[in-house]
Amino acid sequence: MNADSAATPSSPAPYGLLGSLLWTAAGIIAWFLAQMVLLVAYAIVKGMVAQDDFRKLATDGTILAVAVIVAAPVWIGVLVLAARLRGWSARDYLALITPKRGEILFGIAVLAPILVAFDLLTYAFGRDVVPPFMRESYMSAKMAGSLPLFFLAVIVVAPLGEEIAFRGFLFRGLSQTWLGIAGTIIVTSAIWALMHVQYDWVEVAQIVLIGLLLGWLRWASGSTALTIVLHMLTNLGATLEAMIKVEWLS
């Protein structure tokens, strides 16, 4: 199975390079605006006016979780609309195909050693395995009693939105252009990584490498659902590391 497995001879052509990038940008803008509206409303209600107040929002696990949960459906909705306007079902365009058990097991077998290797290298170079952003967000969510909401946002909602956007919508369109499969995997990984502005360059580089693997698995399996599952497992591991760091190693 490959990236075109959902297409049939009667299927309309997917969006080209420009169309795919413009719709992806529209989705990201809608996602960003939904979060901004929520954050501004929250700041007004709380009477936040000082710069320090707004800095605290950047690692407020509760409000960030709510923002992710509210904004992700908006982002997905834009891409579903784009697929429907192109004459496709959202399921086919976004490659939301149930992966085979062997594909899931293979994906885990490939991904897990890479994640362990990243942690070992991070530790060997004297860096904290848990990024400050993740640790501080977890701590603030714990203090607010909103860890279940935080877990839902980080482990489920964020991977769902990001994979549908990058390995689903953008991959579908770009893979049919002159970029080809290899170029598409690189471009989608790079754009995905650049959205993680909360991390430093070392962590962003790791995200790029994970994105390359997820992109390859998306192509090999023809399933964005597979990369959603693997992304969720990756974020689950990162969340458990933050929990261990805060609860037992602080």
Structural domains of the chain, count? 1
Is 157 within a domain? yes
Is 4 within a domain? no
Q: Give the Cβ contact number of residue 102 at 10 Å.
A: 9
The whole-number pLDDT of residue 144 equals 93
Q: Give the Cβ contact number of residue 132 at 10 Å.
A: 12
Using 50 as the pLDDT threshold, list the residues of the chain that sit under it: 1, 3
Is 3 within a domain? no
The whole-number pLDDT of residue 3 equals 47
Rounded to two decimals, the pTM is 0.93
Is 2 within a domain? no
Give the residue ranges of DSSP H helices in the chain.
17-46, 51-57, 61-85, 90-93, 101-124, 132-144, 147-151, 158-163, 171-174, 180-194, 201-221, 224-248
* Residues of the domain holding 62: 17-248
List pLDDT tens digits, range 176-186: 999 999 999 99
Is 49 within a domain? yes
Is 6 within a domain? no
Is 104 within a domain? yes
The whole-number pLDDT of residue 80 equals 98
Is 11 within a domain? no
The whole-number pLDDT of residue 1 equals 45
